[in-house]
Structure 1
């Protein structure tokens, strides 16, 4: 994924003679947040980009444009409480969607945090997530971002009728297979540029 935003931020910060910690202090964030932005691991939201522009006396439009250019690779989130399912599923996602940035998370709370703070093109969601019901988590994610694409990934076909009563756009049986992921992409409710 191109890191135009990170490169622009790093250059602007250096031109002002600020360290990552000094910029973090001005923005009331951690130094690691600034480091993650500069390395391309994370992108700040539009409000934070506006704060960054003010802190650096930089052009907000240029920073926003750089952030937009950095969205070349859409984020695909795999949420499963089984470490084995994540370990086996992420390589399958990379095979099926080579242009995507694939992220695997075991905790529903971490998934919600990631989803709130990052643009996510597609969520593949296990239905049984420990004490959390994936059907409920789907509804929570769609309340945060109604135009999100959520598909279920489960070993339990009996959940298919319940799954279709949510606003999910797909249902894949485990184990995850690349051809099933590729077959899902054209059926997304909200098409995403660059997934295939």
Structure 2
């Protein structure tokens, strides 16, 4: 991976007076993601570069210039309008799927925009998000890429029947746990290698 990008990101973060955790919170990723970018073991994808440019107040062209090609890790997203639930879930997903590029969203429109720009292998979706239903987001994700595995997250078991009608791969009751995620990975409709390119 590119040490130039790692060094540039660390310099820009320090200039903004942010520690890794503070930057991670603003990006809706875990601190370990920022740490990986800064130690050169992983590069953020194009959509995350745009987020970084906004948070750090730098020209996106600078970040694209110093970033090498993104690695081949699968893209995994989590969408939940509760920031506490989202941050907790992201940490679990990164632990269970360490080779994946894990990105969180609180707004359905942002998650869908990301899916249009990046091939998403696995999406964990909250069902109740104000006026927007995770069931509808699932249908849109599958229209973008029919091979996206979707797992619904909810506190309400009564949604299970409607969830299956969308073409989702799985259904999990909150709170998200490492064991539940591991169980879902064994049941994916479109399995992908956890150590490399997705299918």
TM over 0.5: yes
Match of 2:190, SS state, is coil
TM-score with structure 1 length normalisation?
0.67
Alignment partner, residue 46 of structure 1? none
| 1: CA distance, partners of 2:124 / 2:65 | 25
Q: Could you say what the CA RMSD is over the residues aligned between the two structures, in angstroms? A: 2.5
- Is 1:39 the counterpart of 2:35? The answer is no
- Is 1:138 the counterpart of 2:166? The answer is no
Could you tell me which runs of 5 or more consecutive residues in structure 1 were left unpaired when the two chains were aligned: 7-29, 41-65
Could you tell me which runs of 5 or more consecutive residues in structure 2 were left unpaired when the two chains were aligned: 6-57
Cα deviation, 1:62-116, whole Å, max 9, x if unaligned, reads xxxx66xx21x21110000001111211111112111111111000000000111
Structure 1: 4+ residue segments shifted above 4 A:
none
Alignment partner, residue 81 of structure 1? 81
| 34 and 142 in structure 1: CA distance in 2 versus 1, 3 angstrom threshold | farther
Match of 2:175, SS state, is coil
| 2: CA distance, partners of 1:33 / 1:147 | 31
Cα deviation, 1:20-43, whole Å, max 9, x if unaligned, reads xxxxxxxxxx95156247436xxx
2:121·2:147 contact (CA, 8 Å) conserved in 1? Answer: no
Q: Which has the larger radius of gyration?
A: 1
Match of 1:151, SS state, is strand
2:119·2:145 contact (CA, 8 Å) conserved in 1? Answer: no
| 1: CA distance, partners of 2:125 / 2:64 | 26
| 1: CA distance, partners of 2:81 / 2:165 | 23
More helix by share: 1
TM-score with structure 2 length normalisation?
0.66
| 147 and 31 in structure 1: CA distance in 2 versus 1, 3 angstrom threshold | same
Match of 1:187, SS state, is coil
Cα offset, 1:133, TM superposition? 0.6
- Is 1:158 the counterpart of 2:186? The answer is no
Alignment partner, residue 148 of structure 2? 148
Alignment partner, residue 40 of structure 2? none
| 2: CA distance, partners of 1:35 / 1:123 | 26
Alignment partner, residue 194 of structure 2? 194
How many residue pairs get matched?
Answer: 144
Alignment partner, residue 35 of structure 2? none
| 2: CA distance, partners of 1:126 / 1:37 | 36
Residues 91-100 or 139-148, more deviating? 91-100
